[in-house]
Amino acid sequence: MHRRTALSVSAALLVAAPLLSACSGETRPGTAAVVGSERITTSALQAQVNDVRAAQNRSGQASAELIASTPHLERQKLDALLQSHIVDKMAGTAGLTATEKDIEDERRTYVDDAGGNEEFEARFLQKGAMAPGQIDRFLRDRVLITKLTATYGAGKLEAPARAAVEALHIEVNPRYGAWDAKEIKLGGGETPWITQRTRPEQAPAGA
């Protein structure tokens, strides 16, 4: 199997604090995070969480176990959104894009490895807390990270990632944790931002 790269998932939820203020200093109720000029709303974040919970509830006998295994799903999904913005910024700086064919080829690799599309979607729900409609975003990130690695070299993505974070000026509503610009992740987890995965079945991360 060829090597895969996966984004980290944050690990700790901090005590809730006053709502996030935007760059202008004004309080922004309904804001989960601000990334560059884009506002991630709490409603958009909750929609992602709801999609995952709905998919988990459709899993029959495994539903309770899946739900119990993702107690901090809001934070996990927000971290995934933030990481995707960072990947987009890095790719834009490097002049890289992910085509539909790139994404389909990436999907085919995972589907073939899983033994079919149903098994593929079940694996991503179980291992990465991703609803079926959220998987393409993950695959797009995978494609871009592969291209970024080819551009900068294996193990050399931290510097461009830090540059992207600095340019994006990420702010997070304390309700979901604290953005750690040094570690490039949400919360206080110990997992490095970039981790190597030797096989696709070792679990998609960063959902």
Q: For 151-184, what is each residue's pLDDT tens digit?
A: 999 999 999 999 999 999 999 999 999 999 989 9
Whole-angstrom distance, CA of residue 193 vs CA of residue 174? 20
pLDDT tens for residues 40-52? 999 999 999 999 9
For position 60, what pLDDT does the model report?
A: 87
Identify the CA nearest to 142 among candidates 187, 205, 201.
Answer: 205
**Amino acid in the structure at residue 175:** R
Task: Please report, to the nearest 10 degrees, the dihedral formed by the alpha carbons of residues 28, 16, 55, 128 taken in order.
Answer: 100
Which residue segment(s) compose the domain that 109 sits in?
4-202
Identify the CA nearest to 145 among candidates 179, 77, 196.
Answer: 196
Partnered with residue 38 across adjacent β-strands are 35
> Is position 53 within any domain?
yes
> Is position 82 within any domain?
yes
For position 29, what pLDDT does the model report?
A: 76
Give yes or no for a contact between 165 and 86, defined as CB atoms under 8 angstroms apart: yes
Asked whether residue 115 carries a pLDDT value surpassing 60, the answer given is: yes
> Is position 79 within any domain?
yes
For position 23, what pLDDT does the model report?
A: 35
Whole-angstrom distance, CA of residue 44 vs CA of residue 66? 22
CB atoms within 10 A of CB 195: 15
> Is position 207 within any domain?
no
For position 131, what pLDDT does the model report?
A: 98
> Is position 61 within any domain?
yes
**Which pLDDT band, with edges at 50, 70 and 90, does 61 fall under?**
confident
Q: What is the mean pLDDT of the chain?
A: 82
Taking CB atoms within 8 Å and a gap of at least 24, the contacts of 150-154 are 151/94, 151/96, 152/94
**Which pLDDT band, with edges at 50, 70 and 90, does 101 fall under?**
very high
Whole-angstrom distance, CA of residue 25 vs CA of residue 31? 13
> Is position 75 within any domain?
yes
**Mean pLDDT confidence for 38-63:** 95
Domains in the chain, number: 1
**Mean pLDDT confidence for 73-86:** 96
